[in-house]
Structure 1
């Protein structure tokens, strides 16, 4: 059985220094291994790593991959930041905009009863900031159900 346990999310980057600077500007804490060649950020329950795309391809045994570069292109993955209140969605989306993220929509009330907003980082990775009134978080801040 393969454990249902996501411990690390890696974003393949064209420019590790650019993405590193963006996430640092959001106030995200880094681990001691972080550098402009490879960066790792501490989040609630999962580490976020920024890794050069050429090295990621090599490690996976792939020759190439086509990543969309246009701001409107969707790469197929949304990373989510779930917060404790609707007001935190508004504050976080505003902060992302101040730090140079591309706000796509929101913050706005969602049809499912929460509040949400979407942005892209400097390499167009899609993020959602959401408040879900039924979300349950553990003592470490990781969401365990909704």
Structure 2
């Protein structure tokens, strides 16, 4: 079973420092992990992260279009509570008919990830982050 929650929305940034400055100019609060290489902002429901577009596409196992405006690289993430839940959740979405883009693997930042596409090719990440903090409703509030 996969938890019924969206934990993180990641925007693939072509010019991350510029996009980061934009969200900061809106007065949005950043998490301490933010930098010009990766940035995370708190919102009322999920965390919004900015990640280099080419790295996001490579991470998900998809081809990045040559035209920056043709596709906006966005992933939706479901964060699970335990490392082994990544594998179980991917199996559940596979059985539901999802296209597996990347099998579960350990991430360089210490967690575990997998990627899949739903029937209309929306890209989802299943992730376990050992430092994730959730609120009482299961919303991720920090990591």
* Partner in structure 1 of residue 129 of structure 2: 132
**C-alpha contact 1:107 1:116 (8 A) present in aligned 2:** yes
1:144 paired with 2:137, answer no
**C-alpha contact 1:105 1:119 (8 A) present in aligned 2:** yes
User: C-alpha displacement at 1:5, in angstroms?
Assistant: 3.6
Structure 1 distance, partners of 2:72, 2:119, is 14
User: C-alpha displacement at 1:88, in angstroms?
Assistant: 0.6
1:92 paired with 2:89, answer yes
**C-alpha contact 1:103 1:118 (8 A) present in aligned 2:** yes
Structure 1 distance, partners of 2:112, 2:92, is 16
Structure 1, unmatched stretches of 5+, are 8-44, 46-70
Q: 1:107 aligns with which of 86, 93, 104?
A: 104
Structure 2 distance, partners of 1:128, 1:92, is 10
Structure 2, unmatched stretches of 5+, are 1-25, 29-41, 47-61, 65-70
Please state whether the residue corresponding to 1:84 is helix, strand or coil: coil
**C-alpha contact 1:75 1:125 (8 A) present in aligned 2:** no
Of structures 1 and 2, the larger Rg is shown by: 1
After superposition, residues 1-146 of structure 1 pair within 5 angstroms as: 5-6=43-44, 75-146=72-143
User: C-alpha displacement at 1:75, in angstroms?
Assistant: 4.1
TM-score normalised to structure 2 length: 0.52
Q: Higher relative contact order by CA 8 Å / sep ≥ 6: 1 or 2? A: 2
Structure 1 distance, partners of 2:127, 2:112, is 6
Please state whether the residue corresponding to 1:141 is helix, strand or coil: coil
1:76-106, Cα deviation, whole Å (9 max, x unpaired): 1100000001111000001110110001112
RMSD: 2.4
